[in-house]
Structure 1
């Protein structure tokens, strides 16, 4: 089969890290499903895979005894079941499906004990920590990852949202005592991007109010069309990044003045409410503001660090106001099914942005790595003849 392949000797810019190669089609083992890929979603995790940092995913897998000296990424797929391994009963060849990214060892003692599998030692993100993701003519997934495709969506639309949507669902509903509730205010960073578009729609679908943070007014208008009650243009503020140390009174005071001005802009949209949930993924540039803005007893929930990993938190706002800083990663089956049901019901739009041909997967990751944003989600066509194919019902 043909695949977009990353090798260690090409780590760096995704534009050159990805190359089309011909590799063997993997055989489905027990509990596995081989899928003919129609379209593949493009996410930031395979920018990291192409760079070889923060994890060299190839070396990591080889240390664990896997033989492959290459990486086929892609953590979103729409396609057709081609073959199934021993013991697979819930899907059959010919089924039209999507793949969710939660992957784990079914024999893991933690999983067998009925616990959240994404907290298991064996938990992985499919198509990042695993090989044979969706950037190939065929991908290999576990049976439990397979979900029915929404008939009203094209292959491209169906491939767009599952990783970001299920990630957003876990962030908003996965944490005891801090699950999204009707009437909540949610601040959504990157409200016009993949994660943000899904978070806004999930909030609206559950009776909550979302305010988007975006990089320009056009993106803000896009977020409001998805249901956000308003937006903040971060370009009008200057306090991003690691703030001055607290004992630098002039520097910290200047940072705090901007943070308070940002809070005032939020109040002008949402009234005197503070966000009970702050939906985070930029990380280093925004965490100080997120913790400052979060309501007492509320939660800042984060799934990435696209602006950097060395975040600084003023602990005075953390402990005195009893705010929670919660990490979130991936999805479990229940969360993925709940999200996919909303998509199939037409209550969540996949927010399809850019569609690229298979040979431009490296370029699309390069653009993402360099901050060239699209509205919504990027997708690459693999087996689908065009971006309009795949609809079977309305």
Structure 2
């Protein structure tokens, strides 16, 4: 460990952190460009084979960037996409970014440091950074917005050159250090541990924009929201946001243990996939209608009506069912397609029943700050289920790839153990440690 990393883990003050030299290399989870074709013709693309933990070169810092000593991070599904090199190798993203010139040229390297979540301590600030300082405790939004694109000033997600950090850029968060734009930073909630704080920004911010923000479904009190994968990283935040907003969360999960976990979050109605005959295969048109009728019957039996909103991120396996089961005039809001991007659905149910589909992607900085307030007040809690050290990050990513997890899987980076980083223990005590860790409590009860 470098002297700077050691000082961070020992809680050194800002003056010492600024005075210590940067290491020339640092530890990171990365992919190699030479491995991009390694899964050609392979059915089980095991990400633990392509992801590597090792030493990489420390990059220079642009004027609008900060260097964060990463205490913790988490695994998101975009790291799985990166590691299977699909639908395109992310090295192509890095090449396109580098082609824009200037500081962007640094990103085109034979290795890609991945990861789109982080919590940590700022150890360097670029010459153009005004609002942040060495020693600040922060979490990182995954969105790098293009502040020179006019559309960005309407909504940070609309700029043509908006990118997801650690997926479409290099120097991501699954590492001991990360290069971050100042416009990605949010203050770390003081009552959360490093790993609890790190698991929130990407998934919680995405769910907030989809459901609450003005660019999404804009749920209101009394809305019934069907949430696919409700015990996953995105779904578990969606359950909380719907409940907080006076809505009725309806969660679909794959097991009794996951059902118990989301009931702890306040899910009003829980449906298991087996209850509606949904398998791992993509259903055909007749199956879509049959599954949709079974699901609709369960929902109407409980609520007396169809759902107002469907929270979609599963994609090909569920999208047709979502369009079918939604109420007349309702909204499907989608942010991803973990089972496949090419969706098939019966368009008659969309146009003749006046339904809407809204595409949503990550969250702009204002939405991230609004979402962070909910964590700071205890209205939202982390969905962390397990924590691995960075040395075992490939194993953790494989667990996410094969859906053998609930909520979010955390990664400690410079933090020597889980449980560190709390600077407001009084608030933590008022909220309650068990309430802050519903998925870990559920796992302990199940065990």
Superposition TM-score, scaled by structure 2 size: 0.83
Deviations 1:301-331 (A, max 9, x none): 1111111122111111100111111111111
Out of 282, 297, 312, the residue aligned to residue 344 of structure 2 is 312
Any residues of structure 2 matched to 1:59-208 within 5 Å, and which?
59-65=92-98, 66=105, 67-111=108-152, 114-175=153-214, 178-208=217-247
Which position in structure 2 is the counterpart of 1:335? Answer: 367
1:277–1:300 Cα contact (<8 Å) kept: yes
CA distance in 1, matches of 2:325, 2:304: 12
Question: How many Å apart are 1:255 and its aligned residue?
Answer: 4.6
Task: Report what 2:83 is aligned to.
Answer: 50
Note the alpha carbon deviations across 1:154-186, whole angstroms, 9 max, x for none: 001011111000000111124558311111111
Superposed displacement of residue 242, structure 1: 4.6
Query: 1:249 maps to what in 2?
Result: none
The correspondence for 1:361, drawn from 393, 396, 402, is 393
Tell me how far 1:239 sits from its aligned partner. Answer: 5.0
- Corresponding position of 1:229: 268
Residues 194 and 351 in structure 1, CA contact (< 8 A), matched pair in contact too: yes
TM-score normalized by the length of structure 1? 0.93
Aligned-partner Cα distance in 2 for 1:177–1:129: 23
Give the equivalent residue in structure 2 for 1:388: 419
Please name the residue that 1:379 is paired with: 410
Displacement of 1:366 in angstroms is 1.3
Matching residue of 1:238: 277
Q: Which among 329, 332, 336 is matched to residue 300 of structure 1?
A: 332
Matches of 1:201 and 1:355, distance apart in 2:
22
- 2:120–2:139: 8 Å Cα contact kept in structure 1? yes
Structure 1, unaligned stretches of length 5 or more? Answer: 246-251
What are the superposed Cα offsets for residues 79-130 of structure 1, whole Å, 9 maximum, x if unpaired? 001111012111100001100111122222322xx22121211111111111
SS in 2 for 1:39: strand
Gaps of 5+ in 2: 1-25, 40-45, 99-104, 428-447
1: distance between equivalents of 2:97 and 2:291?
48
- Report if aligned partners of 2:283, 2:317 keep a CA contact under 8 Å in 1: no
Which of residues 22, 38, 41 is equivalent to 2:74? 41
* Counterpart residue number, 2:443: none
Who is 1:9 aligned against? 34
| Distance in 1 (alpha carbons) for counterparts of 2:177 and 2:164 | 18
Helix, strand or coil at the partner of 1:350: coil
* Runs of 4+ deviating beyond 3 Å: 174-178, 239-245
**Using the alignment, how far apart are the partners of 2:205 and 2:333 within structure 1?**
14
